[in-house]
């Protein structure tokens, strides 16, 4: 059975997941990498789109609409007494030297780049990444410096996007292998008197990840935040693994 058919079967069939326990470990590892690749696709696409739109919007904003500002000694100062917000081509740019806007305020925004009082923030697909100005200690940044930096980023985006995508893929893959390994240990407690060893349960756990992975990938693709997603993910995957274990025949009692 090829990897795509396994993916389809794993969405709805605990019986097939149980049968996959007999296949080679190499094919299961390949499936984990395949599943991880699917799960990060929306994030990579949104990041690429946000970066491209953000660079174009930032150039226009800095040249035409941004108030004079300066980042020095870990803080932002600007010739404005209120936060400045500009929306350009589905991208938002914020300059706030007042401290009125917090990281939590940005969480519900779309693609956004914000220069806040004590750090800058980048928002993409509901995720907020913030970086304090203090990490640039001793550096003085003005409008012209930021414009030069944005131009440099634009020239390097052909390198930045693949590097970031690779980093996300490797990190997500490592997290997937750890989660599957923990889930296989949980399977040992669920197997009862069925003859299942850890290696078989690890294979079954890998395929049990398919349904929740597909669900959360779709939610990310439509930019919908799922409350308590961590608990929902573990609940669903444990239930799927339990149903797969139930499909394994119990040993017959000797007469």
Tokens for 206? 């890998």
For 66-87, what is each residue's pLDDT tens digit? 788 888 887 888 888 888 887 7
- pLDDT-based confidence at residue 89 (cuts at 50, 70, 90): low
Instruction: Give pLDDT, residue 34.
Output: 96
Instruction: Give pLDDT, residue 253.
Output: 64
What's the rounded Cα separation, in Å, for the pair 155 and 118?
27
Average pLDDT over residues 138-167: 85
- The residue with greater pLDDT, 244 or 131, is 244
**Residue 137 and residue 64 in contact, taking contact as beta carbons nearer than 8 Å:** no
Instruction: Give pLDDT, residue 185.
Output: 95
For 182-220, what is each residue's pLDDT tens digit? 999 999 999 988 889 999 999 999 999 999 999 999 998
pLDDT at 255 over 50: no
Residues near 162 by beta carbon (within 8 Å), at least 6 away in sequence: none
What's the rounded Cα separation, in Å, for the pair 19 and 113?
48
Please provide the average confidence, as pLDDT, over all residues in the chain. 87
Average pLDDT over residues 105-112: 75
Alpha helices in 20-142, H assignment, sequence order? 25-64, 103-106
- pLDDT-based confidence at residue 178 (cuts at 50, 70, 90): very high
């Amino acid at each position: 059975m090829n990897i795509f058919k396994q993916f389809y079967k794993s969405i709805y069939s605990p019986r097939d997941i149980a049968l996959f326990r007999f296949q080679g470990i190499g094919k299961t590892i390949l499936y984990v990498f395949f599943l991880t690749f699917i799960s990060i696709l929306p994030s990579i696409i949104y990041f690429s789109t946000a970066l491209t739109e953000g660079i174009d919007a930032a150039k226009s904003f800095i040249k035409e609409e941004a108030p004079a500002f300066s980042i020095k000694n870990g803080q932002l100062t600007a010739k404005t007494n209120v936060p400045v917000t500009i929306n350009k081509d589905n991208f938002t740019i914020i300059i706030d030297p007042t401290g009125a806007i917090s990281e939590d305020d940005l969480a519900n925004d779309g693609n956004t780049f914000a220069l806040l009082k004590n750090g800058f923030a980048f928002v993409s697909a509901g995720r907020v990444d913030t970086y304090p100005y203090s990490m640039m200690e001793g550096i003085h940044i003005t409008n012209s410096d930021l414009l030069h930096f944005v131009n440099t980023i634009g020239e390097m985006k052909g390198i930045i996007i693949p590097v970031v995508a690779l980093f996300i893929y490797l990190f997500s893959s490592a997290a997937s292998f750890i989660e599957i390994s923990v889930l296989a240990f949980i399977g040992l407690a669920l197997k009862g008197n069925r003859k299942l060893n850890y290696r078989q349960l690890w294979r079954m756990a890998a395929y049990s990840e398919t349904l929740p992975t597909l669900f959360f990938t779709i939610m990310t693709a439509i930019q919908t935040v799922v409350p308590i997603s961590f608990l929902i993910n573990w609940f669903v995957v444990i239930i799927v693994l339990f149903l797969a274990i139930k499909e394994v025949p119990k040993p017959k009692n000797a007469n």
